[in-house]
Amino acid sequence: MFDRLINPGSIAVIGASHNPQKIGYVVLKNLVSHGYRGEVYPVNPKGGEILGYKVYANVEDIPPVDLSVITLPAELTVKVFEDVAKKSKFIIPIAGGFGETGKEGKEREKKILEIAKKYNARIIGPNTVGIYIPSTGVNTALVVPERSRFPGDGDIAFITQSGALGLLTMDSVAMYNVGFSAFINLGNRIDVNENELLEFFGSDERSKVVIMYIESFRDGREFMRIAREVTRKKPIVVLKAGRTKRGGRAASLHTGALGGSDAVADGAFKQCGVIRAYDEVELVDYARALAYGKPIHGDRVAVVTSAGGVGVVTTDYIESQERGIGMKMAELSEETKRRIKEEVVPFASVENPVDMTAQASDEDYDGVLEALNSDPNVDAILVYALFQTPLISERLVDIITRWHREGDKPIVVGTIGSEFAMRMLARFEENKVPAYPSIERAVKALRVLRDRGEILRRLGE
Amino acid sequence: MFDRLINPGSIAVIGASHNPQKIGYVVLKNLVSHGYRGEVYPVNPKGGEILGYKVYANVEDIPPVDLSVITLPAELTVKVFEDVAKKSKFIIPIAGGFGETGKEGKEREKKILEIAKKYNARIIGPNTVGIYIPSTGVNTALVVPERSRFPGDGDIAFITQSGALGLLTMDSVAMYNVGFSAFINLGNRIDVNENELLEFFGSDERSKVVIMYIESFRDGREFMRIAREVTRKKPIVVLKAGRTKRGGRAASLHTGALGGSDAVADGAFKQCGVIRAYDEVELVDYARALAYGKPIHGDRVAVVTSAGGVGVVTTDYIESQERGIGMKMAELSEETKRRIKEEVVPFASVENPVDMTAQASDEDYDGVLEALNSDPNVDAILVYALFQTPLISERLVDIITRWHREGDKPIVVGTIGSEFAMRMLARFEENKVPAYPSIERAVKALRVLRDRGEILRRLGE
């Protein structure tokens, strides 16, 4: 349904500009610089050429296109809208000045929606940063390139009501190589809404998980119906903002959202197998766990570390109900303890956490992971890849990756450090291993995989 | 009391080695490369020269020193200990193989402690990574320099029972320019303990805050007595690990710690004004808030953002009791709203959060901060410095820093992004402005400053 939006064969930029300061220029430039390979039709009454593209003076002059991006102010957007709708399958009116500003803006929305319906065109927005699709190079979002980053292609489909929060979130994880299959900003959401998109990405093979930032649902019942279906195929993570009374008020000023009770939302999410995140960090952390990791069936976790203190804090977080995830430290089998002690690391503590101390080598990690992988008392493994000690090398990334891919047990990785650790995080990410830069974030990824295991179990009943 | 440990005029390295793979070489190299300027006396029966230093064949041959670092294995450490103790004010025996390994190791500890007492020398450790003092260049800790970082000089004194957790934690924040006044690893803690050090750093002018990683207190009552005194002068943040039953068991395997009930610990911390952290990220996040920020008196927070969604999520976190900090969004005065709307940003939403939208400029931030600074309804300000929009520049760092320094209200900064945002975080850090790379972390810093305000109020009663 949205194939031609995600992968358009042709794009018109209505209001394309010769002036590098104008968004009509930047949008065009973004298309070029992110490698979009389809046809591009800049439209501007002045004609001429921009960035090597022939500029059309009138929308009438261009052939039909899959997508039109309107970079004009609200009033002009309305003015050209009928001409654009005649030519386009999808239209992204970027400008604000619509429903979010009051009565006049609402009138504008009504007008463009009527026109779109008449010509069977679909609107994303208005008042939106639009879409960013790394795999096809379609990018209508405006940020200052020197001060922000766009992520590469990946497994995460991101539907967001807030464009800025979405772009900031993608920016913050781009440096770790986190990739996205699609990013779509609903904006004022007068036409295309989160439910249709959720359904679409539910069947999109390139998206392994769908994440959403939502301040209000267009149709909660419909969302639940679709979520229930999608969650059988892939996980959904929702950051529902405006969950407090005052937050709801802020949301209504932001996107005009009217939220309901958060307890009701929470119950509904649980019922239909949606996993909740509470901020922008959790949203992507959980997405990565769910996209790359195996669901955890059971609650017994084995922890591997070379730093004793990290093992102790992790144990607290795993076991605590109040400040932690309320799972359990596995009681390792006698056979596992024997193997680790006799065959791998005689100097280590073979209770759980398995503390290999600063003497640990890459091979020791390999041996311990092998032993834990065949322990029937272990449901999941949290392994700390700490690169600060002398016998550990970058090869540890490959060793853990192999156990993640070939072993039976779900694996989550934690690492702590500066630039080097972050480079290793990016390598884990390339290998699609869920890895996190702090104890708490690694442990919370375990919980999410356990939740996913629970959801799948319930669905199977 | 510990002046000669922190700032030793002379250091002996017992077991200094010619072999770059040996810790007796690395410790010596660390001293040189971190800029230690005092006298250095390497001791090794082979004599000769290492790294340009004359090597002494016997401990007897060196003059008295402030600090001796023993890099020999446990058995040899005991053997040379009397000779070393005769010459030293402080001794750091690095090796493991003491009390943590059982009876034989306990005997060794007894022996060296007796000797130290006889000669009035003090022991840090054994089984410790030792100490790192950025300002004097004293560094006995062993890590692989290519894969980790040491932080620079700063306001945070760090006392830790776990060496590895401590080093990892410092490594992870070094890239943000977070600085430390001192790092001391207690190790097996047979002599110098956390209470003496807390008392010392309580009076140390260079330390603005003391943070501790502790698995068990040597003397809880004494800790409380000292903490109560120190907290009048400066904040204390404690990460008490082993807070769950199973975590306590892991701790006892790690450092032999025997923890008590966590509820008791929690009550005791509250009573004596100690702020709790639950992981390595909170530990330093809170330290930075407390070292740089003003205590918050009251609970009404004003939020400034250019991204609406960030404002909504922040509002939820501030107001929520269960998943948040249970503070309040300030009701801005009519005068403030008028000023912001009429004089600064007519396009903004002047409810709280103040959403200046992507059109915001550096000057707009300045104007809004000025208005909020004189609003009697505002107890603290959380300002998001988001550098992705076109009218924002690096100058925003200076503007916020100025309000942090010259304004009356406590300010916390949030930012979200990749490399550029992280560079700006490092600049805020240099300016000693508490700044955080996520919504949740910024909001939690507010809570800690409010807790500090509460503690000071109670002490004043």
Instruction: For residue A264, name the pLDDT band (cuts at 50, 70, 90).
Output: confident
Which CATH number is A70's domain given? 3.40.50.720
Asked if B386's CB is within 8 angstroms of A243's CB, the reply is no
Asked if B320's CB is within 8 angstroms of A164's CB, the reply is no
d(CA B199, CA B209): 12
Is A461 a residue whose pLDDT tops 90? no
Is A33 a residue whose pLDDT tops 90? no
Asked if B418's CB is within 8 angstroms of A174's CB, the reply is yes
Domain contains A136: no
Is A243 a residue whose pLDDT tops 70? yes
Q: What is the mean pLDDT of residues A223-241?
A: 97
Q: What is the mean pLDDT of residues B340-349?
A: 89
d(CA B195, CA B211): 12
Q: What is the mean pLDDT of residues B269-288?
A: 97
Q: What is the mean pLDDT of residues B230-244?
A: 96
Q: Which residue segment(s) compose the domain that A67 sits in?
A: 1-127
Residues A247, A267, single domain; the answer is yes
A329 touches chain B (CB under 8 A): yes
Residues A275, A307, single domain; the answer is no
Q: What is the mean pLDDT of residues A295-302?
A: 98
* Least trusted range by pLDDT, from A26-35, A411-420, B271-280, B348-357: A26-35
d(CA A166, CA A171): 9
Asked if B280's CB is within 8 angstroms of A420's CB, the reply is no
Q: What are phi and psi of B155, to 5 degrees?
A: -100, -5
Q: What is the CA radius of gyration of chain A?
A: 25
* Chain mean position to CA B273: 17
Residues A240, A282, single domain; the answer is yes
Asked if B306's CB is within 8 angstroms of A420's CB, the reply is no
Is A258 a residue whose pLDDT tops 60? no
Domain contains B122: yes
For residues A109 and A98, the answer to whether their CB atoms sit within 8 Å is: yes
* Least trusted range by pLDDT, from A219-228, A350-359, B249-258, B364-373: B249-258
The per-residue pLDDT for A145 is: 77
Q: What is the mean pLDDT of residues A232-260?
A: 85
Q: What are phi and psi of A74, to 5 degrees?
A: -55, -50
Beta bridge partners of B182: B157
Burial of B196 (0-12, 13-18, 19+ CB in 10 A): middle
Residues B165, B116, single domain; the answer is no
Q: What is the mean pLDDT of residues A240-268?
A: 82
Q: What is the mean pLDDT of residues A343-347?
A: 88
The per-residue pLDDT for B30 is: 87
The per-residue pLDDT for A257 is: 59
Asked if A311's CB is within 8 angstroms of B244's CB, the reply is no
Question: B33 CB contacts (<8 Å, ≥6 apart)?
Answer: B145
A386 touches chain B (CB under 8 A): yes
Is A260 a residue whose pLDDT tops 70? no
Residues A388, A243, single domain; the answer is no
Q: Quick one: DSSP state of residue A48?
A: S
- Report B:226-245 residues touching A (Cβ under 8 A): 239, 241-245
User: CA of B250 to nearest chain A CA: how many angstroms apart?
Assistant: 5
Neighbours of A178 (CB within 10 A): 23
Q: Percent of chain A beyond pLDDT 90? A: 86
Minimum-distance CB partner of B148 among A242, A245, A418: A418
B249 touches chain A (CB under 8 A): yes
Residues A323, A351, single domain; the answer is yes
Angle between helices A439-460 and A280-292 (to 10 degrees): 60
Instruction: For residue B336, name the pLDDT band (cuts at 50, 70, 90).
Output: very high
- Reference B389, options A165, A137, A385; nearest CA is A165
Q: Which residue has the tokens 């650790």?
A: A421
Asked if A420's CB is within 8 angstroms of B146's CB, the reply is yes
A261: left (phi over 0), alpha (psi -120 to 50) or beta: beta
> Residue B327's closest chain A neighbor by CA?
A246
Report ipTM for this prediction.
0.96
Instruction: For residue B260, name the pLDDT band (cuts at 50, 70, 90).
Output: low
Question: What's the token pair of residue A218?
Answer: 């267009």
Asked if A279's CB is within 8 angstroms of B317's CB, the reply is yes
d(CA A36, CA B225): 67
Domain contains A132: no
Is B280 a residue whose pLDDT tops 80? yes
Is A200 a residue whose pLDDT tops 60? yes
Domain contains A317: yes
Instruction: For residue B258, name the pLDDT band (cuts at 50, 70, 90).
Output: low
Is A22 a residue whose pLDDT tops 90? no
A264, A292, A320 — which closes off a domain?
A292
For residues A97 and A154, the answer to whether their CB atoms sit within 8 Å is: no
d(CA A171, CA A164): 10
Q: Which residues of chain B have a CB within 8 Å of the CB of A244?
A: 315-316, 319-320, 324
d(CA B389, CA B295): 31
Residues B116, B150, single domain; the answer is no
B292, B321, B340 — which closes off a domain?
B292
Angle at B127 between CA B44 and CA B139, to 5 degrees: 65
User: CA of B18 to nearest chain A CA: how many angstroms apart?
Assistant: 18
Asked if A244's CB is within 8 angstroms of B320's CB, the reply is yes
Instruction: For residue B390, name the pLDDT band (cuts at 50, 70, 90).
Output: confident
Q: Which residues of chain A have a CB within 8 Å of the CB of B130?
A: none
Asked if B312's CB is within 8 angstroms of A215's CB, the reply is yes
Minimum-distance CB partner of B349 among A175, A253, A307: A253
Best interface-test mutation with A: which of B128, B254, B362 has the largest number of A CBs within 10 A? B254
d(CA B261, CA B268): 11
- Reference B90, options B180, B162, B196, B178; nearest CA is B196
d(CA B293, CA B375): 19
Residues B305, B400, single domain; the answer is yes
Minimum-distance CB partner of A315 among B143, B173, B247: B247
Asked if B244's CB is within 8 angstroms of A319's CB, the reply is yes
Question: What's the token pair of residue A231?
Answer: 């969650």
Question: A425 CB contacts (<8 Å, ≥6 apart)?
Answer: A176, A415, A435, A436, A437
d(CA B322, CA A108): 41
- Reference B296, options B408, B429, B435, B428; nearest CA is B408
Instruction: For residue B146, name the pLDDT band (cuts at 50, 70, 90).
Output: confident
Residues B442, B397, single domain; the answer is yes
The per-residue pLDDT for B263 is: 85
Q: Where are the alpha helices (DSSP H) in B256-392?
A: 262-271, 280-292, 308-319, 334-339, 362-373
Residues A363, A386, single domain; the answer is yes
The per-residue pLDDT for B255 is: 67
Which CATH number is B335's domain given? 3.40.50.261
**Strand extents, DSSP E, A327-421:** 328-329, 354-355, 380-384, 411-414
Q: Give the tens place of pLDDT for each residue, A122-151.
A: 999 999 999 999 999 999 987 777 888 899
The per-residue pLDDT for A256 is: 63
Compute the mean pLDDT over every residue in chain A, rounded to the nearest whole number. 95
Peptide bond into A126 cis (omega under 30): yes
For residues A201 and A157, the answer to whether their CB atoms sit within 8 Å is: yes
Is B154 a residue whose pLDDT tops 90? yes
Sequential DSSP letters for A54-87: EPBS-GGGSPPEEEEEE-S-HHHHHHHHHHHHHH
Q: Which residues of chain B have a CB within 8 Å of the CB of A167?
A: 388
Q: Which residues of chain B have a CB within 8 Å of the CB of A101?
A: none
Q: State which amino acid sits at residue A378.
A: V
The per-residue pLDDT for A350 is: 87
Q: State which amino acid sits at residue B54.
A: K
A135 touches chain B (CB under 8 A): no
Residues A285, A314, single domain; the answer is no
> Residue A255's closest chain B neighbor by CA?
B308
Domain contains A137: no
Q: Which residues of chain B have a CB within 8 Å of the CB of A309?
A: 160-162, 164-166, 213, 215, 241, 254
Q: What is the mean pLDDT of residues A172-183?
A: 96
Asked if A164's CB is within 8 angstroms of B386's CB, the reply is yes
d(CA B351, CA A101): 15
- Reference A83, options A55, A46, A110, A56; nearest CA is A56
* Least trusted range by pLDDT, from A10-19, A213-222, A261-270, B83-92: A261-270
For residues A133 and A7, the answer to whether their CB atoms sit within 8 Å is: yes
Number of domains observed in the structure of chain A: 3
Q: Which residues of chain B have a CB within 8 Å of the CB of A147?
A: 387-388, 417, 420-421
Domain contains B131: no
d(CA B289, CA B421): 19
B419 touches chain A (CB under 8 A): yes
- Reference A434, options A456, A411, A450, A451; nearest CA is A411
d(CA B301, CA B319): 10
Domain contains A370: yes
The per-residue pLDDT for B190 is: 97
Asked if A279's CB is within 8 angstroms of B308's CB, the reply is no
Domain contains B275: yes
Beta bridge partners of B348: none
The per-residue pLDDT for B256 is: 63
d(CA B203, CA B230): 8
Instruction: For residue B231, name the pLDDT band (cuts at 50, 70, 90).
Output: very high
Q: What are phi and psi of A385, to 5 degrees?
A: -100, 95
Q: Where are the alpha helices (DSSP H) in B119-210?
A: 163-174, 194-202
The per-residue pLDDT for A79 is: 98
Q: What is the mean pLDDT of residues B31-57?
A: 94
Q: Quick one: DSSP state of residue A122?
A: E
B164 touches chain A (CB under 8 A): yes
Ranked by mean pLDDT, which of A215-219, A457-461, B68-72 comes out on top?
Answer: B68-72
User: CA of A373 to nearest chain B CA: how many angstroms apart?
Assistant: 21
B268, B292, B316 — which closes off a domain?
B292
Residues A191, A81, single domain; the answer is no
Q: Which residues of chain A have a CB within 8 Å of the CB of B250?
A: 308, 311-312, 315, 329, 351, 353
Q: Which residues of chain A have a CB within 8 Å of the CB of B148?
A: 387-388, 417-418, 420
Asked if A315's CB is within 8 angstroms of B388's CB, the reply is no
Question: A6 CB contacts (<8 Å, ≥6 apart)?
Answer: A131, A133, A136, A138, A182, A204
d(CA A342, CA A364): 12
Minimum-distance CB partner of A418 among B175, B389, B417: B175
Q: What is the mean pLDDT of residues B143-166?
A: 92
Burial of A261 (0-12, 13-18, 19+ CB in 10 A): exposed
d(CA A437, CA B410): 29
The per-residue pLDDT for A259 is: 59
Pairing of strands A354-355, A300-305: parallel
Instruction: For residue A348, name the pLDDT band (cuts at 50, 70, 90).
Output: confident
